[in-house]
Amino acid sequence: MDFTMPLTELPSHTFSGAMYNPDLIHANTLNALLGEESEPAEKEESSLPQDLAELLDEGGTHEQAMAALEKAVLSGTFLDDDDFVVKTNSENPQAIWNDIKNDISNAPVLTRVDPKLVEQNVDSFRIFEITEEDDRMHLFINGALAADLPLGAISKTDFEKIIVFIQGVLDSISLAFALLGIGVAKGKTWATDLADNLKRPKSWLSTAKSAFGKFTSAYAKYKRYLADSPEETKKARKQDAATKAMDLLASAYLGFVGVILKTAWRIVKMVLTLIFGNIREVLRLLCQLTKAAIEWAGMGAAKLAFAIIDAILAAIAVWDDVAKWKELKS
């Protein structure tokens, strides 16, 4: 890795010697990580309509999902004031819904996972890396040095937790896309654009605690299963053991996706916007992901588990992020 890239000194009232590459990461982002952001953290409560948020928790039918999504789109839930269609009044929500509803309705709930598709998606999402050298911490984005900070300027653990959470969101989108047979349309600059928009990390960290808690619970249950019946576990066929494990992890994945789509859907939308650009396509994909999450939760984890096994065998990285999160918490 090349440490010779020219960096700019970060304007900071508290920490000196913090350097960053303005082409890769925004000064406001690092200032927020350093605790110099005055804007209060957002509350964890979902900003989605109650009926849609409840469906993400409890699951629902195709019809229930479509009805809730139609209501959300027509009310402008997934559109922000700075979206082009809102600023220009070029289209009303009903016209947008009429245009995308058939694609959302006809999208497959689950397909057999294509290993090549999963690998391509994961490769396009592995963008962050943190290293230490001497008394410095380095953040790389797509292999390029984005920030060079003195250790102690920010808690390395908190920094890593934020990055791991972001990576978990990216991997979850990748996994959901793979389960739906959707390939990532990777752009040239979206990774660095994402870094420029990593605002309010304290709020993201709070959301992460809730989301990764789903995985922590699943791991704890699986660990108890192994400890309580070691002889039975030894006798069990590998496929049976894998199915039981995936049933727990599928439940955790559904819980994670539910939290992300409820309390951090703007993060998901931001990622999709940076990758796909067109707001109509972003809205369609966001609705498709939400509909899939509702229907998967309604199916139960056992049915979803086999598809997730396929994705894991195809080298999806989301579980590595979960393991990393657990390590950071301990």
Reference 185, options 241, 113, 117; nearest CA is 117
pLDDT of residue 13: 65
Q: State the number of CA atoms in the 13 A half-sphere of 195 facing the CB.
A: 25
**DSSP SS3 for 259:** helix
CA distance 202 to 106: 38
pLDDT of residue 226: 59
Question: How would you write the pLDDT of the chain (330 residues) with one tens digit per residue?
Answer: 444 557 898 877 666 788 988 888 888 778 777 765 544 444 555 678 889 999 998 999 999 999 999 999 988 888 776 676 665 566 788 888 998 999 999 887 777 777 788 777 777 777 888 888 888 889 888 888 988 988 877 777 878 888 888 888 888 888 888 888 888 776 556 677 777 776 667 777 777 887 887 777 766 666 666 566 566 556 555 556 556 667 777 888 888 888 888 888 888 888 888 888 788 888 999 999 999 999 988 887 777 777 777 776 665 666 677 777 777 776
In contact, 315 and 115? CB cutoff 8 Å? yes
Number of residues in the chain:
330
pLDDT of residue 52: 93
In contact, 33 and 195? CB cutoff 8 Å? no
Strands (E), the chain: 8-9, 19-20, 128-133, 136-141, 144-150
In contact, 241 and 233? CB cutoff 8 Å? yes
pLDDT of residue 38: 44
**DSSP SS3 for 190:** helix
Q: Which amino acid, one-letter code, is at 315?
A: A
Q: And the tokens for 325?
A: 């999160």
pTM (2 decimals)? 0.79
Q: And the tokens for 7?
A: 């960096």
